[in-house]
Amino acid sequence: MPGLSRRHFLQTVAGLGAATLSGCQGLPRLASSKAHVVVVGGGFGGATAAKTMRLLDPTIQVTLIEPKARYITCPGSNWLFAGLTDLDKLTVDYQALQARYGVKLLADSVADLDAVKRQVRLTGGQTIGYDRLIMSPGIDFKWDAIAGYDKAAAQQFPHAWQAGPQTLLLAKQLQSMRDGGVLIMTVPADPYRCPPGPYERASMMAYWLKQHNPRAKIIILDAKRSFSKQALFEAGWTKHYGYGSSNSLIEWHSLADNPLLELDKKNQQLISEFGDRFQGDVLNIIPPQTAASIALQSGLADAGGWCPVQPLSGQSLFDEYIHIIGDAAHYAPIPKSAFAANSEAKACALAVINLLNQKPLAEPHWLNTCYSLITPQHGVSVAGVYRLDAAQTIVAVKGAGGVSIASGAETELLEADYTRVVYQQLVANSFA
């Protein structure tokens, strides 16, 4: 690589067919005791995959490659806008993965892959061989989607869609907004990381504004016609933030037929296809997304910018020795969430172990749940259980999951408590 060679692509597609039809017979495999699995990316997907591999089969050598010594979780980062948390509380490290589970850590990033030699080359120059590669590199942004909005512009108009300095910058802008100011938040079309995330963010910002700047307004400009947990969010916004009234703290507008095309930086305006101009004191632009650049440049993504996989094993459709999980991969209808990345990682780790041991693949099930706070005392959630149907397509299990029942303050408070507990459990389950 960069990009898969045509010869290799044909080899892997042929191999994939064999895997699909005959359970991978005929392909040389290493016994797991000699195997080396490299995991790229230490987010929820990668950390869980590395930990699970070592838990299930300690004879396998697992190397986790992640450039950052500490990881700041996006889950929980919206709470910072309401003053309920800070970055320290959202930060984890990889010591437990190393000390408890024997994962080898490499603080570097993958510069490119050689799929034929089954090697990754690191930015630092080192080359590492693998028997199986698990990639969970997360997302990147489509910087060309809104003309004028690029990496440099994000320093002025933060997306805050990768938790860290961007989150702090946006919180500072919110808190120093003029009395009665307008904050505009743009939301991309599906698929993107964390479908309910923008609406939880608007809720947490409104919570802060209600106490400190009650004449201000948050205007959500959404590329979609509807959104995750919409009825629950709108009921909560009506109850707490005057939604639907003339002095509502939150307004939501669908721009599905009139998309935003351009940013006029000087005038702090977003311009739509029909020429409408939306001016804000603060612009929180959440751009459309793709799989992280390492996946794109390695030829692992399709034209939509996400990595197609065989759901049974997480194997890339372009290379059977590479497994892809988390936000970068296409597991629809499972949403792109940390909870889902954790679940995909576990199923993938088991599949990798079975493949290394030439055992049949187990039928996976995946879980997702996304909790959101509307106020510190009002939480809402959505949950789903997924499996493969006869055509090996991922489907939601009918009758499993659902959204919170809107049944008053007691439920809202319980859901808010669960929101915090699920966060703690998910972080511990992935990193500790």
Ligand X SMILES: Cc1cc2nc3c(=O)[nH]c(=O)nc-3n(C[C@H](O)[C@H](O)[C@H](O)COP(=O)(O)OP(=O)(O)OC[C@H]3O[C@@H](n4cnc5c(N)ncnc54)[C@H](O)[C@@H]3O)c2cc1C
Residue 186 is a binding residue for ligand X (CB under 6 A): no
| CA neighbor of 259 nearest in space, from 272, 269, 275 | 272
The single-letter DSSP state of residue 147 is: B
Residue 193 is a binding residue for ligand X (CB under 6 A): yes
Residue 205 is a binding residue for ligand X (CB under 6 A): no
In this structure, are strands 365-375 and 378-388 parallel, antiparallel, or unpaired?
Answer: antiparallel
- The tokens for 429 are 């389950």
| CA neighbor of 86 nearest in space, from 96, 95, 78, 97 | 78
For residue 312, the minimal CB distance to ligand X (Å) is 19
Residue 79 is a binding residue for ligand X (CB under 6 A): no
For residue 282, the minimal CB distance to ligand X (Å) is 16
Asked if 322 contacts 133 with a C-beta cutoff of 8 angstroms, the reply is: yes
- Among 202, 250, 292, 347, contact with ligand X (rule: CB under 6 A): 292
Place of tokens 């009506």: 238
Judged by CB under 6 A, how many residues of this single chain contact ligand X? 36
- Residue ranges in 22-41 that form contacts with ligand X under rule CB under 6 A: 40-41
- The tokens for 225 are 């016609």
- Residue ranges in 315-334 that form contacts with ligand X under rule CB under 6 A: 326-328
Residue 137 is a binding residue for ligand X (CB under 6 A): yes
Spell out the residues 6+ positions from residue 111 whose beta carbon is closer than 8 angstroms to its own. Answer: 121, 122, 123
- Among 32, 203, 315, 337, contact with ligand X (rule: CB under 6 A): 337
The residue of the chain with the least Cβ separation from ligand X equals: 43
Residue 12 is a binding residue for ligand X (CB under 6 A): no
- Distance CA(432)–CA(430), nearest Å, equals 6
Residue 294 is a binding residue for ligand X (CB under 6 A): yes
- Among 174, 205, 356, 370, contact with ligand X (rule: CB under 6 A): 370
Between 195 and 280, name the residue whose CB sits nearer to ligand X. 195
- Among 4, 32, 131, 138, contact with ligand X (rule: CB under 6 A): 138
Residue 77 is a binding residue for ligand X (CB under 6 A): yes
Residue 158 is a binding residue for ligand X (CB under 6 A): no
| CA neighbor of 340 nearest in space, from 352, 353, 330 | 330
Between 177 and 324, name the residue whose CB sits nearer to ligand X. 324
Q: Which stretch binds ligand X (CB under 6 A): 25-33, 59-67, 214-222, 248-256?
A: 59-67
Residue 188 is a binding residue for ligand X (CB under 6 A): no
CA neighbours closer than 13 Å in the CB half-sphere of residue 186 = 32
Q: Which stretch binds ligand X (CB under 6 A): 60-68, 125-133, 306-314, 386-394?
A: 60-68
Residue 314 is a binding residue for ligand X (CB under 6 A): no
Cα separations in angstroms, 134 against 226, 342, 420: 34, 13, 29
Place of tokens 């972080």: 427
Exposed (0-12), middle (13-18) or buried (19+): which is 363, by Cβ within 10 Å? exposed
| CA neighbor of 196 nearest in space, from 420, 370, 73 | 370
- Kindly report the number of other CB atoms within 10 A of residue 149's CB atom: 25
Q: Which stretch binds ligand X (CB under 6 A): 75-83, 210-218, 310-318, 407-415?
A: 75-83
Residues in touch with ligand X (CB under 6 A):
40-46, 65-68, 71, 74-75, 77-78, 109-110, 136-138, 161, 193-194, 197, 292, 294, 326-328, 336-339, 341, 370
